[in-house]
C-alpha cells in the first residue's frame, strides 16, 4: 500500500481552503487596522423595529468580510469532513480521521440539535447557543469530551493498542501503512508513529480520556473546597476570614510548579502525604452536600433524614473508594492504613493518578476560595439577604440558597477557565514526567517524548500539542460566551 496524502481525492479543495483562509486572515488584519486608524465608521442606520443596523463605512465592510470569509472557511472544513466520512482513506489522512471519528460527529450533531431546539428552556446553558463564540468553544470542548469518553472508556475510536510497539513503525510519518498488518488490523498509522513505534493517533485519543477524567472533576472538587470555606469567610468575616485568608495566601505564595513538584515526587508520595491530603480535601463535597440539604429541608425532617442517609451514604462510599487503592488508604514500608476492601472499591484510580488529582485540587482551591469570599462579601449586603435574615433563615441557608445562586455567573465562567488551567497543569506535569507513569499516553508525556526529534519528526509532539491548544482554546471561548450571556441577565 502507498503512503496516504493528507487530502487524497479531496485535494481539489486545498486551493479553495488556502484562499478562504488567506481571505479570513486579511479581513482580520484589515479590521484591526481600521479600528486603530479609521475615524469615520459611517452613520448607523435604524431598523423598522428601532434596533440599530450594523455599522457602515470601512468598519462595516471589514466586519462583513470577516464574517463571510469565516462562514466560507467553515463550509470548506465541513466539505472535508463529509467527504472524508464518505470516502474514508480515499480522501487521505483527513478522510481516515473523519470516518474514524464518525461516532463523535454524530454525538456532536445530536447535542447541538437538542440544545438549540430546547435552548429557551435550558437557562444559561441554552442562552449559550445565542453566542457564536460560545457555540464554537462548546463544540471544541465537547469534541474532545466525546473523543475521550468514546475512545478512552469504550475503545470505540482507537485503531491500535496505544502501548503496543509495531515493527518497522518507529517515527513513521502520518499516513504510513502498517507493516505486516493482519486482515483484521487497521491498515494505517493515520498520524504516524512515535520514537517507540506506537500509534500517535491512538495515544492521542487515550490521552484525551486522561484529561477528561482528571481536569473537570479535579476542578469541581477544588470548587467544593473553595465554596465550602469561602462562603463562611465572606459572610461572617472577622477572625474566621482572617485565618482562612491567611492559609489561602500562604498556599498561593508558593510557585505553582514547585508546589506540584513537591507533591508528586516519589519521596513525598512514599510518606503518604498526598493520601492524607486526599482524605481531607475529598471530604469537602460530603460536607457541602450535607449542609446544603440540611439547610434546605431543615423544617421537613421526614424528607430530610432519609434524603441525607441516601445521599451521604453514596458520597461516603465514593469517598472511601476514591482514597483507597488496593485495599489501603496509605501503604508504605513502615505502616499500612486499611481502606475500602477491593470488592467494594468501584472507583479505579491508581496512586499516581490520585496524586496528580490531589495536586490539582490543592493548587486551585485557594484561588476559588478568594473568588467566592469576594462575591460573598459583596452579595451579603444586598436587600434580599437582609429579607432572608428578617424571615429568620439560618446562616447556612442564606449562604447556600441566597448568596451562592446569585454568584453563579462569575463562578461558572471561572469554572470553565479553571478547567483550562488544570489541563495546562496536567500537561506540564506530564511534560516533566511527574506523577503519571512514563508510558502514560497523556498529552504532556507524549509531547515530552516527541520533542527530542522535533526537527526531524515533528508530528509526534505537534499532534498532542495541537490537541491541548484546541481544548484550552475551546474552554476559553466557552467561558467568553458564558460571560457574554450572563451579563445580559
What own/partner pairs with CB < 8 Å and gap ≥ 24 does 295-304 have? 295/394, 295/396, 295/397, 295/400, 295/401, 296/397, 296/400, 296/401, 298/394, 298/397
At 7, list the grid cell: 487530502
Integer Cα distance of 20 and 15 in angstroms: 9
At 46, list the grid cell: 435604524
- At residue 46, the pLDDT reads 53
pLDDT in tens, 275-293: 889 999 999 999 999 999 9
Integer Cα distance of 220 and 217 in angstroms: 5
Residue 325, Ramachandran bin (φ over 0: left; ψ between -120 and 50: alpha; else beta)? beta
User: How many CB atoms within 10 Å of residue 387?
Assistant: 12
Strands 328-331 and 176-177: unpaired
- At residue 38, the pLDDT reads 64
pTM score: 0.89
- At residue 435, the pLDDT reads 65
- At residue 383, the pLDDT reads 92
- At residue 56, the pLDDT reads 57
At 135, list the grid cell: 457555540
At 243, list the grid cell: 485565618
- At residue 245, the pLDDT reads 95
CA-CA distances (angstroms) from residue 71 to 55, 125, 137, 334? Answer: 19, 24, 16, 64
Mean pLDDT by 10 residues, the chain (489 residues): 89 94 93 75 53 62 87 94 94 94 96 92 86 91 95 88 90 90 86 92 93 91 95 93 94 81 78 87 94 91 93 93 84 78 79 83 93 94 92 92 91 91 86 76 89 87 94 93 77
Amino acid at each position: 500500500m502507498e503512503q496516504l496524502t493528507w487530502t487524497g481525492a479531496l485535494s481539489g479543495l486545498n486551493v479553495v481552503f488556502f484562499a478562504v483562509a488567506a481571505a479570513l486572515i486579511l479581513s482580520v488584519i484589515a479590521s484591526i487596522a481600521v479600528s486603530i486608524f479609521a475615524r469615520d465608521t459611517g452613520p448607523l442606520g435604524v431598523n423598522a423595529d428601532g434596533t440599530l443596523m450594523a455599522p457602515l463605512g470601512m468598519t462595516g465592510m471589514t466586519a462583513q468580510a470577516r464574517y463571510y470569509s469565516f462562514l466560507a472557511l467553515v463550509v470548506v472544513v465541513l466539505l472535508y469532513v463529509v467527504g472524508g466520512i464518505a470516502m474514508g482513506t480515499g480522501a487521505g489522512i483527513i478522510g481516515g480521521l473523519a470516518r474514524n471519528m464518525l461516532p463523535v460527529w454524530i454525538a456532536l450533531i445530536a447535542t447541538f440539535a437538542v440544545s438549540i431546539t430546547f435552548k429557551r428552556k435550558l437557562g444559561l446553558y441554552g442562552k449559550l447557543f445565542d453566542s457564536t463564540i460560545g457555540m464554537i468553544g462548546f463544540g471544541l470542548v465537547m469534541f474532545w469530551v466525546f473523543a475521550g469518553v468514546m475512545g478512552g472508556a469504550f475503545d470505540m475510536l482507537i485503531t491500535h493498542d496505544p502501548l503496543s510497539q509495531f515493527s518497522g513503525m518507529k517515527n513513521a510519518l502520518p499516513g504510513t501503512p502498517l507493516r505486516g498488518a493482519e486482515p483484521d488490523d487497521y491498515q494505517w498509522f493515520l498520524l504516524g508513529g512515535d520514537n517507540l513505534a506506537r500509534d500517535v493517533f491512538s495515544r492521542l485519543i487515550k490521552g484525551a480520556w486522561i484529561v477528561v477524567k482528571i481536569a473537570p472533576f479535579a476542578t469541581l472538587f477544588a470548587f467544593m473546597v473553595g465554596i465550602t470555606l469561602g462562603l463562611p469567610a465572606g459572610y461572617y468575616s472577622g477572625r474566621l476570614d482572617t485565618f482562612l485568608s491567611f492559609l489561602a495566601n500562604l498556599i498561593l505564595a508558593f510557585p505553582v510548579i514547585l508546589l506540584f513538584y513537591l507533591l508528586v515526587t516519589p519521596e513525598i508520595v512514599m510518606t503518604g502525604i498526598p493520601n492524607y491530603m486526599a482524605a481531607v480535601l475529598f471530604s469537602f463535597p460530603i460536607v457541602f452536600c450535607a449542609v446544603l440539604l440540611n439547610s434546605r429541608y431543615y423544617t421537613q425532617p421526614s424528607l430530610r433524614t432519609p434524603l441525607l442517609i441516601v445521599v451521604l451514604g453514596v458520597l461516603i462510599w465514593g469517598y472511601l473508594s476514591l482514597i483507597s487503592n488496593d485495599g489501603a488508604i496509605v501503604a508504605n514500608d513502615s505502616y499500612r492504613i486499611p481502606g475500602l476492601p477491593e470488592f467494594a472499591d468501584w472507583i479505579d484510580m491508581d496512586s499516581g493518578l490520585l496524586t496528580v488529582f490531589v495536586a490539582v485540587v490543592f493548587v486551585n482551591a485557594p484561588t476559588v476560595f478568594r473568588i467566592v469570599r469576594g462575591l460573598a462579601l459583596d452579595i451579603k449586603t444586598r436587600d434580599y439577604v437582609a429579607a432572608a435574615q428578617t424571615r429568620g433563615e439560618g446562616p447556612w441557608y442564606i449562604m447556600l440558597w441566597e448568596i451562592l445562586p446569585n454568584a453563579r455567573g462569575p463562578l461558572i465562567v471561572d469554572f470553565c477557565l479553571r478547567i483550562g488551567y488544570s489541563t495546562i497543569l496536567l500537561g506540564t506535569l506530564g511534560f516533566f514526567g511527574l506523577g503519571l507513569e512514563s508510558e502514560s499516553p497523556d498529552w504532556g508525556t507524549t509531547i515530552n517524548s516527541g520533542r527530542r526529534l522535533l526537527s526531524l519528526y515533528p508530528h509526534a509532539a505537534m499532534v498532542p500539542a495541537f490537541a491541548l491548544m484546541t481544548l484550552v482554546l475551546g474552554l476559553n471561548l466557552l467561558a467568553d460566551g458564558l460571560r457574554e450571556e450572563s451579563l445580559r441577565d
